[in-house]
Each structure stands twice: as C-alpha cells, then as structure tokens.
Structure 1
Amino acid sequence: MDLLAQVVREAPVPLWVIDSHGLVALANREAIRFLGYRGDDDVVGGPSHDLLHCRRPDGTPYPEHECPIVGSAGSEPATEWFVTREGDTRPVRWSTRSISEGHATLLSFSPEPRAEARIVRELRRRGPGVRTSPAQARAELRESLCRTISTRFTDPQFTTAELAAAAHLSVRSVQALFAETGTSPAAEIRRVRLEHARELLVRGHAVQTACLASGFLDPGTFARAFRQRFGCAPSQVPASLSA
C-alpha cells in the first residue's frame, strides 16, 4: 500500500481523492502544485468543492449542490474552472472514477489547452444584464497576462513561452492578444524590465544592480535596450533627470 500511495503521490498527472463526505482524502504533488498550495496540510481534510472552485470565473458563488464533481460516481472527461490558492481561475479537463467500493471518488484533471475560447464563453455566462463582448474578454485576458509579467519579469528565464504556459495558452495565442494593441509579449516583458531598471537608477542604484535586478543577464544588451527606449545610457539617468 505504501508503494501504491507513493506512485499516486508522484504521478505526473494531478490526482485528487474525495471521500464520501466531500472532503479531500489525498492530493498528489502535481495537484497541489497546479492549485498553488504549499502541501498536504493545506488541502487534506478540507472541503473539496471549496478548495477546487468555490466561485465561478465571473466571481459569483458556485454552490456545492451544482458541482458535478463532488459525489460523482464516475464521469467521462468534461471541462470546469478551478480556482488557485491565489484566486486565479484556470480551465481544466477532468474526469472521475469511483474507488474504495464506492466510498471515495478519484478525480484526475489537466489544463484545458483551449483556454481563450472558454474564457470568452464563461465571461458571457455572467448574470442578467451583464454583457461581455469577445473584445472585452480578450482585453481581460490580456490584463491577466500583464499582471503575470509584473510579478515575474525579474526572472531572467521568464520568456513569452513561460508566460503562455502560466496561462495555459499557446505562444501563438498570447502573441495574437498583444498584437491587437500594437505590441508583443516579448516587447512588454522588456518594457516592464526597463521601466523597473530606470526606477532603480533614479533611486541611486548602480547600473549593474539595476541590470541584474530587472531580469537582464548581459550588461551590453541592457545598455543598448535602455538607450533605445530612453535615449540615454543607464549611467546618464541621474544627470539627465536633474538637468
């Protein structure tokens, strides 16, 4: 049994076991990672529905009695929206199987790759009188991507591919979203990095410190990009502002 439990825990697919009372009996590492929790203590013993999706993508409550997962005796693959510990909404493809002679439910899920189209559909399902056009939905998705950039730009390994993976979208979809505003995800990442570097320089930090703290690894690349955007070398920032 210990070996089987270890296999489940280390499986590359998110697995989640719900007991007959609707509580989480087991969650493997991948499920915990996907939902942004720190470990077993955050989820095991807690109400499964609340931990997976206590609200809908538009922010309205999601009553447990409407949830197709808790109490399911087994289902074919379907789509849902799960909510991470940080409150981010993620589209998933899920299925369940009855285990332990019907006393528990094994839930497996994976990111839904067609996130963008589903975001549009879910946003259209808002309450009466609330209308969301495809353009508005795409704008909201773009804003979400920008928020991700603002929290991860200092990582020099953060790229367009990483941004797309975080949102469960293809690189092409992310590029198309930014193209609508006349830019690109790579350009936006660089813009945020340069703005941050400039702020550090204004506050008196050394050029090398500003370079590395903003996600640049190569000082030469940083200097060229900085000059192209601001019209001066990084070392000239304090003098140019005080002139």
Structure 2
Amino acid sequence: MPDEFLLRPLDTPPAYAAVVDRIRRAMALGVLLPGDRLPAERALAEEMGVSRVTVREALRVLQGEGLLVTKRGSSGTTVSPSLTDWQDPSEYDRKITEAFELRLAVETMAARLAAERVAASDIQRLKECQSALESSSDVHSFRRADSEFHLAVARISANSMLSQVVEDVRAAVSARLEHYDFAVIYESSIRGHGSVIDAITRRDPDAAAAAMAAHIEEARAEVMAVLSDGRTARAKDSEALSAD
C-alpha cells in the first residue's frame, strides 16, 4: 500500500493548462463577465509568474473553445459575448447534485465561523455584496455578485482550507447559471443572503448556519426544477425533430 501511493506516476499538466484553468475559473465565478477585457499579455505573465509564451498558448486554447475573442486590429482580448458552455449537460447534472451536497456541508460551517469571527469591516463588505446583488440587471452581474457574497462569507470564516473548497465547488458548476431562470434565482438569493447577513451581523452562529442551509436548500430546489424543465424541453424538441 505505501508503495502504491508513493510510486504511482505523477500527473503534471503543462504550465499553459494552469493558466487556462485560472481564466476559466474566473469566468465561472463571474470575476470575468462576457465582454470584459483581459489584462495585457505581459501583465498576465508577470502576475501569474509564467512566460508570455505560456500565456499566449493558454489564450489560444481558450480562443479555440470560443471563450475568448481577439479581433484584428484590437489592442486586447475579451471574454466572448456569448460564452460557449464547455461542460457536457449530463456531466453537469451529476456535478451540480454533488456540488449542492458539498455546499450544504461546507458553507453552513463557513457561515457559523463567520458569525463567530466577523469584524465591522466584514459586515460592511457583506452589505456591499447585497447591494450589488439587488442592483444586478442581468444574469451575468447577478452571478458575479452572488459569488462575491459566498466567497466573502468563506473568507470571513478565517479558514483558508474551507475558503478554497467553497471557491472550488462554485467554480465547478457556476458557469451555466446564465442558462437558468434568472428571475427565480434572483428573488430567492436576495432573501437568502439577507437572512445570512442578518445572523452574521448579530453574531449568532446557529442562526447563520441555519440561514445558509435554508438558502442553499432553496437554491437547490429551484436549480434542479429549472434543469428538469430544460431536459423536458430538449426531449420534446428531439421528438419533434424525429417526427419530421
């Protein structure tokens, strides 16, 4: 057993793959939105600690997938106005089920710890996240504000490992949110986030954990219902095409 663990081959991806993953993650989390311009190639290379050749190769991959656009004569690269969905629908259904199970475990603990460790500046940050969510006018700005809130709660927990898990699980499934019923998720998220913020502000760990759990459960029910409706619609379209 020790030899099987220690001596198994290493899976070391090329450097450009790490840059691709970083940019994809930024898109999934709403850090980069459709139409946003990426930093210059030189800046990306310097900040990420890689060569410009590595960055150039990563951008080429993302352009090939339709995620980035570089127009001739343009001074930079932008996120595609209509993001290509690089996740297989059936694989996504499985991932999102697992993601909600994991979120229910880790984000409730994040909210509990946040209520115990929150500072005045943290409360202000959460209120700013809520204002951004309430003023979001489309699914893209909503997704950014939603991610900022959940990541902020995780950071306030002051547990770096927990924060990383929250970021990982959101990055794994958030990219397809633009395919959902925006109005449904928007309304419930404002209510849910508000309850969490109220409990954290009162420094009530039990209430914060319960509010986060309730918010995640409601979000799961809504998302799964929308996915189900989408599968039904696709099935009907397929039947119609077959009939033709």
Q: Shared fold (TM-score greater than 0.5)?
A: no
TM (norm. structure 1) is 0.30
Whichever of the two has the greater Rg, that structure is 1
More strand by share: 1
Identify which of structures 1 and 2 has the higher relative contact order when contacts are C-alpha pairs closer than 8 Å and 6+ apart: 2
Structure with greater helix percent = 2
TM-score normalised over the length of structure 2: 0.30
